[in-house]
Amino acid sequence: MARRTGNPEWSSGYNSPEVRPAVATDFEIQASQLGLTPDSYALSIQLRRWCEQNRKRSYIPEWLLEIWKISVDENLW
């Protein structure tokens, strides 16, 4: 008889990975603190300033970067 390899319960769902709740990004937290909705992001001077200062360390939606013409070095990662 051939030897079996691998985990025989891999598809049983018994050892399925833990599902964690989604966590807000720094950008989403900042926008929320400013009381903004996605429709008003581009009009906010405070949010734009925050994005310019944090563009290298926080996620900022690409469509917003394009509107504001903020460049991010693609080789950061």
Give 6-40 pLDDT, tens digit per residue.
776 666 666 666 788 889 999 999 999 999 999 99
| Domain-located, residue 31 | yes
Tokens 């926008």, located at residue: 31
Q: Higher-confidence residue: 52 or 72?
A: 52
pLDDT of residue 5: 74
Do residues 51 and 70 touch, judged by C-beta distance below 8 A?
A: yes
SS3 label, residue 62: helix
Tokens 């720094």, located at residue: 26
Structural domain containing residue 55: 26-68
| Domain-located, residue 8 | no
Q: How far is CA 5 from CA 2, 13, 63, 77, in A?
A: 9, 18, 47, 36
Do residues 68 and 51 touch, judged by C-beta distance below 8 A?
A: yes
Provide the domain count of the chain: 1
